[in-house]
Amino acid sequence: MVVDEAKLHEFIGKAVVEWGAAYGVLLTFVGDRLGLFKAMAGAGGALTPEELAKKTGTHPRIINEWLAAQAAGGFVTYNPAAGTYLLPEEQAIALTDENSPAYIAGEYQVLMGLFKDEEKIIQAFRTGKGLGWGDHHHYLFEGTERFFKPGYIANLTTSWIPALEGIEEKLRREEGAKVADVGCGHGVSTILMAKAYPNSKVIGFDYHKPSIERAREQAEKEGLKNIAFEVAGATDYPGDDYDLITFFDCFHDMGNPAGAAKYVLQTLEKKDGTWMLVEPFANDKLEDNLNPIGRAFYSGSTMICVPASLNENGPALGAQAGEERIREVVRSAGFSKFRRATQTPFNLVFEARP
């Protein structure tokens, strides 16, 4: 075997970068949990390790090492003359502004949850029996809410729903509309729709009882009267004649997506109902997804999405199913219309009609 030394060294260099990034996941999560980033963002300037430790009730020697690691990773900047560290404004937005579409701290909690699930994931690899969503560590549910919420705030009622044919008018009319948000999780999308369209009735459904309990608590805090949450799956949620049914980032996880699509068709308002599916951005060919976003989605899909579907003997569409595969499932269920309504760098938004 002839080894290209340059290519070998290049790969080892890549691995070293990944080691630092892997350690950095835990260190960034710690910074989030201990309020280190928020303390730096609110400091009004650079801080010494001792000053940051005092602000956050942490140990200065460990904070000194944490800051050095964050500086090496480009998360903070270091001033060697003053011995101080600064969290740049751009990083502060991404790590501390929970309502910014650039907020990413929740993903670090998702990743930590997956590390905690390592034995369950290994078993899923060995047996092929899958791993149900509800069997993961609770960090996954909490981190998913935190990660997806900013994107929903930025896009759901400002661009995604307006991109659907005639739906916003229905939602805003005096008599409102009837909406089912299926696979709602902690209810972020459900609550956003209920707040934006107070004349409409919005019901969130999820088979994961702890998530529904959390969603109810959040809706109660908001004082919303036009919202409800119920424990139910994608093929047995109650009601019919919905004007709008929404699936946010969950269709590809399901054990029976074909059955779910058929059930949506049954429960939509027959003449003019709309089904909105929001899915991770993906091209149809694997080779066109071999990029950083595709890598992140394939990786998450390996540990979350595919095992969740296999856990219910499903087809395991995966987070990179792509438009054509989703179209095939939806059209096979009996929908006559299917189109890409809009998209973001991370999302594909589809509209299906009877």
- 162-220: pLDDT as tens digits: 999 999 999 999 999 999 999 999 999 999 999 999 999 999 999 999 999 999 999 99
Whole-number pLDDT of residue 113: 98
- pLDDT of 245 > 90? The answer is yes
As a whole number of Å, the end-to-end CA separation of the chain is 59
Q: How confident is the model at residue 336 (pLDDT cuts 50, 70, 90)?
A: very high
CA 209 to CA 230: how far, in whole Å? 9
Which residue has tokens 């730096």?
Answer: 40
Whole-number pLDDT of residue 3: 93
For residues 20-26, average pLDDT: 97
Q: In 73-127, where does DSSP find H-type helix? A: 89-96, 105-116, 118-127
CA 323 to CA 340: how far, in whole Å? 8
- pLDDT of 128 > 90? The answer is yes
In sign, the C-alpha dihedral spanning 95, 100, 101, 102 is: negative
Whole-number pLDDT of residue 326: 98
Whole-number pLDDT of residue 270: 85
37 phi and psi angles, rounded to 5 deg: -65, -40
Whole-number pLDDT of residue 263: 98
CA 104 to CA 96: how far, in whole Å? 9
For residues 243-266, average pLDDT: 98
User: What's the chain's average pLDDT?
Assistant: 97
Query: For residue 5, what is the enclosing H or E element?
Result: helix 5-33
Whole-number pLDDT of residue 99: 87
Whole-number pLDDT of residue 115: 97
Whole-number pLDDT of residue 126: 97
Whole-number pLDDT of residue 1: 85
List the structure tokens of 200. Answer: 């409409």
Whole-number pLDDT of residue 7: 97
Q: How confident is the model at residue 37 (pLDDT cuts 50, 70, 90)?
A: very high
> How many beta carbons lie within 10 A of that of residue 294, not counting itself?
19
Which residue has tokens 């995604």?
Answer: 160
> How many beta carbons lie within 10 A of that of residue 175, not counting itself?
8
CA 91 to CA 78: how far, in whole Å? 14
CA 347 to CA 97: how far, in whole Å? 21
Nearest to 318 by CA among 253, 232, 238, 266: 253
- Contact predicate 277/251, CB 8 Å: yes
List the structure tokens of 127. Answer: 């047996």
Q: Is 190 helix (H, G, I), strand (E, B) or coil?
A: helix
The pLDDT tens digits of the residues spanning 86-109 come to: 999 999 999 999 989 999 999 999
pTM to 2 decimals?
0.94
Tell me the longest C-alpha to C-alpha distance in the chain.
Answer: 74
Query: For residue 267, what is the enclosing H or E element?
Result: helix 257-267
For residues 259-278, average pLDDT: 95
Structural domains of the chain sorted by starting position, each given as residue range(s) with its CATH number in brackets: 5-95 (1.10.10.10), 105-353 (3.40.50.150)
Whole-number pLDDT of residue 192: 98
> How many beta carbons lie within 10 A of that of residue 310, not counting itself?
19
E-assigned strands of the chain?
Answer: 77-79, 84-86, 178-182, 201-206, 227-231, 244-248, 274-280, 337-343, 347-353
Whole-number pLDDT of residue 43: 96
